[in-house]
Structure 1
Amino acid sequence: MVITARSAKDEIDAVADEIRALGRRAIVAMGDVTKEDDALSMVQAARSEYGRLDILVNNAAIRRQVPLLEMSLDEWREINSVILDGAFLMSRAALPLMIETGGGTVINIGGVTAHIGAVNRAHVCAAKAGLVGLTKAIAREFADRNITANCVVPGKIGGKRSASSGASPNMGTEILRGREGEIGEAAGMVVTMCLPHAGFMTGQTVHVSGGLYMP
């Protein structure tokens, strides 16, 4: 496994150590998903260490809160650059290696606010909604090369939040399960979509939100 991040080196090293403690291989590749050269470098790290890349999870995001009428173009572009441009650049860098080695899967991590809206997060809602379209485009364009693409949309997930996550948004919607989700419940769906028995699923958006949103 290759774990990537733009900053917080100590935290990402700790995650790699946890994976190694389970008897698995893990390496760290620092980089900025908004930069083409960094995206290529992070994919190259997988090639160098493992000789292949079977799974790409696009999870990079920042979630600032700004009223739309006060939002600058730079603030709009910052969020979209990380969430949407980053997923595009990482996918574009990874797909050729997947094709070369016979296939793979792309998982984009969406956001429930893209489907139900949120106050002061127009930029985040728009960027996360864009991931749904990107997912469908990849699924259709690369289906004949044994590549699947799906989008996992977590709802309100509890636990420690990073500084870039911002406060939990006001969604004004009831969680039918009556609680916030657990990290493992969202991560478990990502794992499921990467297993062989999910090979017939592609182009789909799957919500893990305790009924917060029901398509």
Structure 2
Amino acid sequence: MSKELAGKVAIVTGAGRNIGRAIALTLAEAGAAILVGARSNRAEADAVAREIEASGEKALVHTGDVVDPKSVQAMAEATLNAFGRIDILVNNAALRREKSFAEMDYAEWRAILDVTLDGAFHCTKACLAALRQSGSGRIVNIGGLSAHTGAGNRAHVVTAKAGIVGFTRALATELAADGITVNCVVPGLISTPLPKDQPEPAHHVTHQTRTGERGKPEDVAAAVRFLCGPGARYITGQAIHANGGAYFSG
């Protein structure tokens, strides 16, 4: 495949595992240098960086919470110090938990919104000046299927991911004059390893794909790669669904 992102620099949050890892590796495959962002698991992030470097591309690791503006600013500064620019920001960091609304307390509600929405806010603010200087900046936010279909026991997650779609459209409108496109990729029914104490999300049982199979993290990453490349220069403000037909957007 072509190295359509050669010379570009991408920050991917939540890149230590699953979809975030696949995005980081796929953008590196396209030629981009990658800042591998992770909240705390340095070993996972380092492993992703080693994979990228083994492929011949450049990688840097930053661990820190996207909820903390100082940590996010340090991430952006580390990227600029190492690579001299930021062209792509993928806001992937998120928490996905399940609890009935009746039993949910405010701290549990706030924890999800803090990471998914506030984290995207902090990361975008920290990278905005560099993205403007890029001349062809790309922001890709990672959404969620349940934000479009609804789901029980996920009021906090559904709300946060629905907010990401609104955030995408607002930024696409505001940043178009700077040559920055802003889009949202919405994964659905993607097979990823879960912690031993975490059951499969309940809404996965109620939704079925038209293709008859679950997706892979690489299927989501392929959509992100396209949106970051020159072929997507005329696409902005969109929610692109990668879900095997489990949900039809309109």
Aligned to 2:213: 179
Instruction: State the 1:167 CA deviation.
Output: 3.1
Name which of 96, 104, 112 aligns with 1:71.
Answer: 104
Deviations along 1:147-176, one digit per CA (max 9) or x if unpaired, are 000000000111323579x43322212211
Aligned to 2:90: 57
- Name the CA distance, whole Å, in 1 between partners of 2:44 and 2:120: 22
- Name the CA distance, whole Å, in 1 between partners of 2:70 and 2:212: 44
**Alignment partner of 1:15: what SS?**
helix
Which AA in structure 2 matches 1:26? A
Aligned to 1:150: 183
Percent identity (aligned)? 44
Which AA in structure 1 matches 2:200? S
**Alignment partner of 1:70: what SS?**
coil
Aligned to 2:35: 2
Tell whether 2:125 aligns with 1:92. Answer: yes
Q: How does 1:5-154 map to 2 (within 5 A)?
A: 5-154=38-187
- Name the CA distance, whole Å, in 2 between partners of 1:20 and 1:161: 27
Say if 1:143 and 1:163 are closer, same or farther in 2 by CA, change over 3 A.
farther
> What TM-score do you get using the length of structure 1 for normalisation?
0.96
**Alignment partner of 2:202: what SS?**
coil
> What TM-score do you get using the length of structure 2 for normalisation?
0.83
Instruction: State the 1:100 CA deviation.
Output: 2.6
- Name the CA distance, whole Å, in 1 between partners of 2:209 and 2:80: 42
Q: Retained in 1: the 8 A contact 2:64–2:71?
A: yes
Say if 1:163 and 1:39 are closer, same or farther in 2 by CA, change over 3 A.
farther
Aligned to 2:232: 198
For structure 1, the 5+ residue unaligned runs are none
Say if 1:169 and 1:159 are closer, same or farther in 2 by CA, change over 3 A.
closer
- Name the CA distance, whole Å, in 2 between partners of 1:159 and 1:101: 33
Which AA in structure 1 matches 2:166? G
Deviations along 1:33-77, one digit per CA (max 9) or x if unpaired, are 001111111111111011100000000011111101100000000
- Name the CA distance, whole Å, in 2 between partners of 1:163 and 1:50: 38
What RMSD over aligned residues (CA atoms) do the two structures have, in Å?
1.3
Which AA in structure 2 matches 1:210? G
Aligned to 2:246: 212
Say if 1:162 and 1:59 are closer, same or farther in 2 by CA, change over 3 A.
farther
Instruction: State the 1:146 CA deviation.
Output: 0.5
Q: Retained in 2: the 8 A contact 1:119–1:169?
A: no
- Name the CA distance, whole Å, in 1 between partners of 2:201 and 2:82: 39
How many correspondences in the alignment? 214
Aligned to 1:169: 201
For structure 2, the 5+ residue unaligned runs are 1-33
Instruction: State the 1:179 CA deviation.
Output: 1.2
Instruction: State the 1:180 CA deviation.
Output: 0.7
Deviations along 1:191-210, one digit per CA (max 9) or x if unpaired, are 11101010100000000000
Deviations along 1:58-106, one digit per CA (max 9) or x if unpaired, are 0001111110110000000000000000001101111111113324010
Say if 1:162 and 1:199 are closer, same or farther in 2 by CA, change over 3 A.
farther
Which AA in structure 2 matches 1:96? A
Q: Retained in 2: the 8 A contact 1:118–1:169?
A: no
Q: Retained in 2: the 8 A contact 1:3–1:29?
A: yes
